[in-house]
Structure 1
Amino acid sequence: MRYIVAVMLLVMVAACDNGPKPGTETTFSGATMGTTFNVKVIDLPNELPAEKLQAQLSTILKDVNDKMSLWVKDSELVRFNQSKSTDWINVSPDLFHVTDAAHKISQLSNGIFDVTIEPLIKLWGFSTRSPTKKTPSDQEIRTALASIGHDKIAFQAAPPALRKSHPDVTINLSAIAKGFGIDQLADYLESQGIENYMVEIGGDLRVKGTNVRREPWKIAIEKPDVTSRSVHRIVAINGAGMATSGDYRNFFERDGKRYTHIIDPRTGRPVAHRLASVSVLSKSAMQADGLATALLALGEVEGPALAEQHGIAAFFLIRDGEGFVEKRSSHFETYENKVQ
């Protein structure tokens, strides 16, 4: 599991007398995916009652949970994981879509993003179901690695189905499912004619149009400091999703060594580098969600190189002594200039 933070910040400035009139903001919120969701809608259509929209948003998220949660004991994903079959298993189009998107990110990142990594998460004690952090033996790591690998899942598009090459293969979509949920909510808002909104789940988000003051949505990237919460940079975005992945909230130290919850499935061990956080912009919150984790795992050298090579809009914060050095892909800079 990973923890990510993207702090929302509305920068309030005095409106000019001849400026646009402020809109009307309606907010919706609730619990989902082990965290919370928050939705802001500007100028809610009169024909769409707020109570009806709140109920529909909750229904959409419940459907995502029922398909992809590891906490819902009879979710579609839990049933898939419990199966020891190595034959084709029919799955819903949504579960296929998200797992396939994760597989593509695995290929893009040379396997460092891998949704079959759950045995290692549990082994190192980073699973929320078994949070006792520990340093496993080499043999324990080798045993866990036997059922890990994005290439251990095969895909059949029609009808949608997945097949395990090893009976113990399991899938954990926590690094990408929140982004999918955000996209589902945002797409529904747009289908209802809503053009100005912000959708946020657990720090990941997607926005479109302008905020209540008719300005671009402004999002704060948090300074990756374990001792405090403060803003490092503010980004104006429109028509895009944004996700931030960091290694500074979930880790443990033992014998003078720091072990982060970001684990390299190729070695079976937590990554060890100076990259503290990565923020990614993408039209899809799901893509931003998965890519932020992949780039963070790759580190301060491979991560920026991959982002530049594949046109990913990414912002990196790298530890440097007592502070941080920032690095941006050219596509991140282009995106900022386009919005502002």
Structure 2
Amino acid sequence: MQKLIVVSFLLFLVGCQPAVQTVEPETYLSGKTMGTTYNVKFVTDPNIDSVELHNEIEQKLISVNQLMSTYIPDSELSVINQSPANTPVQISAETRLVLDEALRLGELTDGALNVTLGPLVNLWGFGPEKRPEVIPSDAEIALAMQSVGLEHIVLQGQQISKKIDDLYIDLSPIAKGYGVDALAELLESYGITDYLVEIGGEMRLSGIKSTGQEWRVAIEKPLSTQRAIQRIIAIGDNAIATSGDYRNYYEEDGIRYSHLIDPKTGYPIQHNLVSVTVIHPSSMTADGMATALSIVGTQAAMEIAERDNIAVLLVSKEGEEFVEYQSPAFATIVKVIK
């Protein structure tokens, strides 16, 4: 289940210095899902059958895909997208949960998170149809905008309907995060409290490593030409998501076109906010919020973060320098290692 609005893989694990005291080693499980990979680590418990747990992880991810993938023709989401206007479609509690959060974050960010952007994303060449031969015209953008809008989604109980036929819902800006949360809940149902779950860069951590040290995460410096670390941090029992536009873009006639589309204009963003990291107990919320704040720009992103007490690290390209901005909640929750 690949994203139409693609969030680059901006987080990776950092090895810790070996502790003097040795405790139980870690169990590591991995595989492929949603067009990317997943990784699960937890402190080994001899009472847990890791093969059985791995099978349950695989089945959970298959289930999430069958609900929310736009690439599976008979997925629950595909059935919704194929349905005509004003026709109620029965949906699962899981899909309803993700839709509710997508709409909540859309309202919270004044429409910046918009899961109906598919027509515009495709028009600009960041969907399955690839890069366009020519830059879209104002008329083409205006036409695509007519098929976009959260206000066209109607939720009633366990049913959804669309106000217009061409509405196309894509939950990829938030569904990977939901998958991380689902796996974290699965681990906790086994009594596992010291773990790391990651799907395609979205990550949730709990407890400590087998060494007795806290989990550490590296935030990548927003460079398109090389890999470098911006910060190494510890986030406690939280999820982390980072969004940026410095890897997924193209240039035409000297103009840079980002994969991040502003729902209000229909055009790629043009501001200098290049990286947004969000810390939150829910990976689903962190995932969606990181994308939304990347769209609105530095000033608006910080205003939203301060208003709603969200832990956010912003990196802005100002001249030749990368300038960091931290929300008060980020400074409170996060321990900066480097």
TM beyond 0.5: yes
Encode CA deviations 1:190-213: one digit per residue, 9 max, x unaligned. 111001000000011001000121
Superposition pairs for residues 207-226 of structure 1, below 5 Å? Answer: 207-226=205-224
Superposition pairs for residues 99-138 of structure 1, below 5 Å? Answer: 99-127=99-127, 129-133=128-132, 134-138=134-138
- Aligned with 2:52: secondary structure? helix
Aligned positions, number: 333
Letter paired with 2:33: T
Residue 95 of structure 2 aligns with which residue?
A: 95
TM-score, with normalisation over the residues of structure 1? 0.95
Deviation for aligned residue 1:338 = 11
Residue 148 of structure 2 aligns with which residue?
A: 148
Residue 33 of structure 1 aligns with which residue?
A: 34
Letter paired with 2:142: R
- Aligned with 2:208: secondary structure? coil
- Asked if 1:295 corresponds to 2:293, the answer is yes
Encode CA deviations 1:17-72: one digit per residue, 9 max, x unaligned. xxx423311100000000000000112x3232111111110100000000001111
For structure 2, which runs of at least 5 residues remain unmatched after alignment? none
Which of the residues 14, 20, 42 maps onto 1:10?
14
Work out the CA distance in 1 between the residues paired with 2:81 and 2:167.
7
Superposed CA RMSD: 1.6
Residue 317 of structure 2 aligns with which residue?
A: 319
Work out the CA distance in 1 between the residues paired with 2:267 and 2:169.
18
Deviation for aligned residue 1:336 = 1.6
Q: Are the counterparts in 2 of residues 274 and 299 from structure 1 also a CA contact under 8 Å?
A: yes
Segments ≥4 residues shifted beyond 6 Å: none
Q: Are the counterparts in 1 of residues 232 and 336 from structure 2 also a CA contact under 8 Å?
A: no
Residue 182 of structure 1 aligns with which residue?
A: 180
Residue 202 of structure 2 aligns with which residue?
A: 204
Letter paired with 2:101: A
Work out the CA distance in 2 between the residues paired with 1:69 and 1:114.
17
Q: Are the counterparts in 2 of residues 6 and 219 from structure 1 also a CA contact under 8 Å?
A: no
Work out the CA distance in 1 between the residues paired with 2:55 and 2:319.
49
Pair 337,35 (structure 1): closer, same or farther in 2 beyond 3 Å: closer
Letter paired with 2:263: P
Letter paired with 2:140: E
Work out the CA distance in 2 between the residues paired with 1:102 and 1:171.
11
**Identity over the aligned pairs, expressed in percent?**
41
Pair 58,4 (structure 1): closer, same or farther in 2 beyond 3 Å: same
- Aligned with 1:252: secondary structure? strand
Deviation for aligned residue 1:301 = 1.3
Letter paired with 2:75: S
- Aligned with 2:65: secondary structure? helix
Work out the CA distance in 1 between the residues paired with 2:112 and 2:42.
37
Work out the CA distance in 2 between the residues paired with 1:267 and 1:10.
39
Q: Are the counterparts in 1 of residues 239 and 282 from structure 2 also a CA contact under 8 Å?
A: yes
Which moves more between the two structures, 84-93 or 290-299? Answer: 84-93
Deviation for aligned residue 1:170 = 1.0
Residue 330 of structure 1 aligns with which residue?
A: 328
Encode CA deviations 1:251-281: one digit per residue, 9 max, x unaligned. 1111211110000111111111000010000
Pair 248,338 (structure 1): closer, same or farther in 2 beyond 3 Å: closer
